[in-house]
Amino acid sequence: MKFFIDSVDIEAIKKFTLSGMVDGVTTNPSIIAKSGRDFKEVIREICSIVPGPVSAEVTATKASQMIEEGEVLSKLAKNVTVKVPLTWDGLEACKRLADQNIMVNVTLCFSAQQALLAAKAGAAFISPFIGRLDDLGEDGMDLIKDIRAIYDNYSNLKTEILAASIRTPDHVRRAAILGADVSTLPPTVLEELAIHPLTDKGLKAFLDDWEKTGQNII
């Protein structure tokens, strides 16, 4: 499974990129607005740090304007992935942009049939929102399972499943078991993936025993 960071926190992106754990980044207008920085400047900087796909979302709602914005965004860096909403206008924009060999991430997916439409439109990624479905009392993982089953039925569908709205390490675990290609998660959740109390306990015991020997490796 690939990990994307869902953030514009440059220091966090640099940190996890150095560890080899970051395969891409997802952004949206809301999190960039909170940074107080210029939208295009942020995208360019992230693209210079991360070699993989960096999602930059359009703000238009009409297909013609989405296409125009998408073409502008795609020129910011070679690894920009244009992010469009899962509406009919978004699907039209996806098809037109994909026909230009521009990577497209279709976001705000909440049903398997929506995911099928996005794949037919040529999306590079589909972003089902797990956490938001959980908020409604549903199990967001059921959507991942259904999309995986549909895509596996048709070898001509090349769209990758990008599990989004990840809230917990367990979301990542379950998405991986079900075959999601990517999880996009906040830096805090990525940090938590490596944490387990038994690991800490075991490390302390090893270090205590080593200290008793009075030896040094270097």
Catalytic residue numbers, as ranges: 83
- C-alpha triplet 198, 201, 202: angle, nearest 5°: 85
Structure tokens of 168? Answer: 């917990």
CA-CA distance, 17 to 13, in Å (whole number)?
A: 6
CA distances (Å), 168 to each of 11, 24, 110, 187, 190, in order? Answer: 21, 19, 19, 11, 9
Neighbours of 169 (CB within 10 A): 17
CA-CA distance, 78 to 185, in Å (whole number)?
A: 23
